[in-house]
Structures are given as C-alpha cells and as structure tokens.
Structure 1
C-alpha cells in the first residue's frame, strides 16, 4: 500500500476507497477467437463498460468500442492470417501505456503463438502510424513494430484473437499487464552500467507550455536538485535511455500524471515519490502500483484557487502543509517557494489569467469526478483561505480589478 500520510485527509480516504475497488485477476483472463469477421471502430460510447452487456461490441477502457460482425462480401479491407486485436492506439503517453498495451499480454506470457498482425484503431479516427518518438521505440523494444497495423475504418479479418484486457481502471488489475513492460525493459537495458544517478526526479518543466500552465514547477525542480536528485526531462531522452536511468536509480520521484506512469519501466526495489498536482486521485497510477508491486510516497503539493473542468491543463504547485511535513521528516534542505503576499498575488494572478484563457467561465466538476468531490472541496477550502484577500477582491490581483466597480467604490470610500 502506498504511503498516503502526506495526502490531505479526505483525499487519503478517497484513495483508500478506490484502491479497495481493484480486484486481482491474475490468471483469470479470457482469450476469444473469431473467424471471418468485420471490425468497425465506434469511438467512445458514453456509459459503455465491460459488463454493460452490449451485443457484438468489444469494449476497451475509457468506453472506446468496436463492433464485431460476421463478414459480408466486399464489406471492408481484408487482413488475412491470425490477427490480435489490440484495441485503440491512444496517442497520449499515459493512456498508451495503460490502455493500448492492455491486450498484448498473450504475446509476452506465451499464452498464444503464431500471430501475424496486431490490429489497432486510431483513437482520433484518423490514420496514425508511430513513425517516431517513444511510441515507435516502445514497439521496437517490444519486438512487435513490424506486426502493428493502425486503421481508422472497418476492416475484415480472417482469424481474430481478442484477449481480455489485463487492466481496467477502477475495476481490476493483473500481473499479466506487467509482461509487456518487463519485455521492453529487458530489451532496453544496456550491459554497461554507464554513468547514472542514484536519485532521479522526473520533471515536466521542459514540456512546451509547462512554465506557463504548471505554475511553480521550477520550484519543485529546485527542491529535488538541492536534495541530491538529478533532474530528468523524459521527453529529452530516448525511451531506452530513460529505462536505463530508472533502473540504475534507487530513489525515483515524479510529479503525478503520465510522467509518473513511467514507473512501469523502473526496478521494483527503488523508493518512489509522487508529487501530487491535483485533488483528483489518479486511478491509473493506483493500477500501476498494483501491477508493478510498488508503494510510492504520495505528497499533496498543489493549490486549487478555482475548481477547473476536468481537462488537466492548469496546475499550481505550492508549499502545502503536506509538503512541509515531508521535507521536515526527511531532514531535507528547505523548499524555495515564496509564501509572502507578493508571491501569493503573483502566482494567483498567473493562475487566474491562464484559467480564463483555457476555461473561459467554466467551473465545476465532471460526472466521473463526483467520487472525488470530497478531496476537491477539501483542497479548494484550504486554497481559498490561502488566497482569500485576492479571491474576495479585497485586494486587486488582476489589472481589470483596479477598474472594477467594487474596487473603485472602495478607493472612493478610503478618500473620504
């Protein structure tokens, strides 16, 4: 069980509840086979789930669906031979790791032999071929790149193999899900030890727009750098290099999200730290922890001055009580976050400007976030107290505030 002492209390409760929902289905996964069928991508169907009983539909994680029907003359482009259905090729790294790979397990556990092609549908209904980057390198390291076929329309298949997903978020996990990651790691590991750090922090600070949309991310870099961690930007190294870096390290830290999902490639005996950047519990990370048998230390280090829509694009890091407690318990050199009024106003101003540009007047939570509402409200209440003078407009924070009727009225009253 991950260490959740440094989460806010209500979020820790949500974390325990969601973790308890996962069922271990190791050794209990099904493989179906079909002859002469047509597969048609249906995209995301709201409310679809693996137990919804939809006839003639294959359901992937996140409600991505495909219909499966017997072949008809001239129905679609045909693929001959034995074809494994891989689901949807998700072009977002975290979903690629946890969703796109979920049906590949029979190839790496010996459950099936003699597969000619691996079929994926594009998640954005456009033809997508992984010509470069980590997606291509992952498939190369797994030894399956030459078999991968990615299409956006209906396809007829001579002999179709449909493995059950090895992981479904909030529902179940299995050790079979780990097989593809183990294979990629073994393929990537270099025999020469090289020069690697024992402490590594995976940062997002070099991502395009991160300095703007992840406010104070540089302060986290400084904190870990001051305490002996090498700062690594995953997007600046090859996947092979990243895997070697992670496997030589005994202490690995990361901000939450897709960056921390790279823990699937790390050695199991390392210490893992995840700096949380949102009130919503990352259900995929829980799955990764269960699949890989790791127990990271989770630290709430974010503020939530406004409840944003569930798009995960704007984050505000801060020296929360939870981060302060972790630093104190470790005896680390202190953080470099500024907590005076000037700094609070500056970071809040940056947050509100970006919020308006990204979300307009939208507020509130999505339906799937209802189960996280206690943690969201807990973070908001704490942040409201931290930024209250500016949120209440008692003190101007944006340029427009100086010309608002409320501020003008208060200035006139002070002059009387």
Structure 2
C-alpha cells in the first residue's frame, strides 16, 4: 500500500523510507529569512511537487510548495542527494538537518554531493559550519556539502523521505536507525571515565538551565563522576567519552540528541529535567529509539523560573528538589548511598536567581510546575 506523502511522516509504515529518483528536478529555493513555515520545495520535470522532500517539524509541515514555479537561475549536472534543511542551531541540526542521511546506504549510483537549503541567514560559503561537516564525516560520508540559494535545475536528484525529526519522528525510522548504528563514529575509539555528568553550567543562563548546578556537580564528583562540558570538546572527543562511559547523567538539552547517535543499550543514561516541555519527551524517545533502551528521566523540579520578558520554555531555569533528586538517582542506580543532600531554601533560590549572573540577562519570576504531555 502506498502511503500518501502529503501526510505526516511516521517512523513505521510511512513515506519516511521512500527514496525517489527525480530527473530534471527543479529546486525552488526559499526567499528571504525563513520563518517557522515557508515556501520552497523540490519539483519533478512536469512541475509536480515532490512531497517526500517536504520538511516536517512534529505535527506540522513547515516547508510548503510555492504557488508559482520559479525560473531556474543555474543548472547542476550529474547526480546529487537532497539533504533537507541546514540549521545553525546544534540541536535542530541534529534532529532536522540529518534526516535524509539514511539514504547513503541505498543510493543506486554514486552522487556528486549533498544539497541543502539553509535555515538561517548567511552569505554564500558561510552557511556550512565546522560541526555540520564533521558530523556528516562521522556518518562515514565524505561527500561535499552545497547550499542551494537560488532556483536550480538538477540533472538527477535523489530524494529520501524524512527518516528522523521532532515529535513522532523522534525515534527515527528503521532505516535511519540502521544507518546510524552502522556508520556513526565507527572509527572513533572509546576513551574516558566510566561515569560522566554532561553539564550546562558553563553555557550561560540565556539558554536556560538548572539552579545550583555547580553544587550538583560537586555532589556528583563525590560519587565518582567526571564533569563534562561538551561545548569545550570536538565532536570526536564527545563520541569517545560517550562510548567509554557506563553511566551518563546529563542536564536535559541538545547534548543528549548527539549522545543518541552513539548510545548503547548496555549503558545507564539519565536526564535531569530542566523545563516542563514536550522537548523532554522528544529527547527521551530519541535516545530510546536509537539505542534500544529508554533513558531514565529525573523530574525533581520544585519551581521553574522564567524571564519576565519571555514565555519560551528553553529559557526556563529549574529549581531542583535536591533530596528528591538524590532518592531518584539512588533508586535508578546512578549513585550509591551517602550523606543526605541538603535542599536549598526559597530565600537561597531567590538570592541566586537575582544574582549578577542571572540579573544581567533578565528579571525572573517563579512559576508552578505542571505536567505536560508531548
């Protein structure tokens, strides 16, 4: 049975694993700065939209066919692979810019390179960042990466379905997961300690975080953990550390999306939640889908502190219940018995959130924590 490619992709029984050969393809590039949804697409020689090239974020199709086909400004000879959207946000690149790479193992002929649209502003030649290229190399792919910025006619374009993404696609399709398992980081040797805590304490409060995370780090060091700040390490170094560890505890964030690509079912992986958001469920599904073992989730939030000028949940700072977190970590086998963890008072939390480190970013107010389904 053929699945309608205009419908939302799903990991199973979907067009997410379709691989189309489109001869004389027209790439209708987006215009200007891209908003949440925008007009762009891939069209066949007869001017019909190739819906398998569409980009979905969760339950929403964000790349929609334009009403009028543009005149091509250039022509590219040979065969190429459609890569989708290239993001300059690391987490979104991982979840939404890598979604077609499963096709590397299924191409019927060699291709000249990968073609992307850029999901951000930038001059010609500036869009491909170092981490974009290194990630794709870690996938065992040495093809050049090209950003297409004007309407282009392509001699032959291979268009894979979206095999990964946010929302329902977080676990990845079977072919996507198989490609990751076979390819990602295969030449990187394991190196590092057995226990690591992946911290956000040095990223800065502009991106949200955990209140008193430095104090949490001190407690985890006493339990044999090494504190790991992934932004200070190359992608190869991160893979080496994640491969070596038996216990990986992490503050919720994009680092876990990257960990998913090299995680294993024999590892103990846990996430300390820092916000009440559907993004938490996406990360849990992502890691669990890729490695075959659902990570533990520790949601010991007393209050969530939000900037007064923003309602964006990634800006939230979680005030943790330390005794509750200790109990949960012990029960899940991430830490052993030891002295009781002291909880921080409301006055201490208020003093910390209004300290110079946070105050120079914004003014915060406390909100009650409620459960939210993805």
Q: Cα gap change, 1:147/1:335 in structure 2, threshold over 3 Å: closer, same or farther? A: farther
Deviation digits for residues 73-107 of structure 1 (CA, Å, limit 9, x no counterpart): x6222221111111100111221112111111010
Check if 1:357 corresponds to 2:332: no
Tell me: CA distance 1:171–1:314, structure 2 relative to 1, closer, same or farther (3 Å): closer
Whole-Å separation in 1 of the counterparts to 2:256 and 2:25: 39
Structure 1 or 2: larger helix share?
Answer: 1
Deviates more, 1:256-265 or 1:342-351: 342-351
| C-alpha deviation, 1:135, in angstroms | 2.4
Find the counterpart in structure 1 of residue 119 from structure 2: 123
Shift of 1:353: 6.1
1:266 and 2:268 matched? no
- State the distance in 2 between where 1:185 and 1:292 align: 14
Equivalent position to 2:76, from 68, 79, 84: 79
Which residues of 2 match residues 52-131 of structure 1 at below 5 A?
Answer: 56=49, 58-62=53-57, 63-65=61-63, 67=65, 75-107=72-104, 109-126=105-122, 127=124, 128-131=126-129
For each residue in 1:217-274, what CA deviation from the matched residue of structure 2 results, as whole angstroms up to 9, or x when unmatched? 2123223212111111111121111111111111111111201112222333111011
TM normalised by structure 2 equals 0.76
Superposed CA deviations along residues 155-208 of structure 1, whole A, max 9, x for unmatched, are 221111111111243224312222443312203x23xx65x2111111122225
Partner of 1:396: none
The equivalences for 1:400-415 within 5 A come to none
Structure 2 unpaired stretches of 5+? 1-8, 42-47
Q: How far is the alpha carbon of 1:47 from its aligned partner?
A: 9.9
Q: Determine the structure 2 residue equivalent to 1:304.
A: 304
Instruction: Choose 1 or 2 for highest CA Rg.
Output: 1
Aligned mates of 1:356, 1:277 — CA distance in 2: 18
Q: How many Å separate the matches in 1 of 2:54 and 2:340?
A: 46
Tell me the equivalent position of 1:291. Answer: 290
**CA–CA distance in structure 1, aligned partners of residues 19 and 147 of structure 2:** 21
Structure 2 match to 1:339? 344
1:171 aligns with 2:168: yes
Whole-angstrom distance in 2 between the partners of 1:66 and 1:279: 30
Matched, 1:38 2:57: no
What is the root-mean-square deviation of aligned Cα atoms in Å? Answer: 3.7
Aligned partner (choices 141, 146, 159) of residue 144 of structure 1: 141
Kept in 1, the 8 Å contact 2:16–2:160? The answer is no
Instruction: Tell me which of the two structures has the higher relative contact order, counting C-alpha pairs closer than 8 angstroms and 6 or more residues apart.
Output: 1
SS in 1 for 2:221: helix
Moved more, 284-293 or 331-340: 331-340
Q: Does the C-alpha gap of structure 1 residues 156 and 100 become closer, same or farther in structure 2, counting only changes over 3 Å?
A: same
Report the 3-state secondary structure (helix = DSSP H, G, I; strand = E; otherwise coil) of the residue aligned with 2:96: helix
Pair 1:33–1:211, CA change in 2 (3 A): closer
Distance 1:236 1:334, change over 3 A: farther
Q: State the distance in 2 between where 1:22 and 1:159 align.
A: 27
Q: CA contact under 8 A between 2:210 and 2:320: conserved in structure 1? A: no
- Report the 3-state secondary structure (helix = DSSP H, G, I; strand = E; otherwise coil) of the residue aligned with 1:245: helix
Cα distance in 2 between the residues matched to 1:230 and 1:146: 36
Count how many residue pairs are aligned between Structure 1 and Structure 2. Answer: 335
Paired with 2:363 and 2:153, the residues of 1 have a C-alpha distance of 42
Alignment check: 8 A CA contact 2:300 2:321 kept:
yes
Partners of 2:287 and 2:276 in 1: CA distance: 19
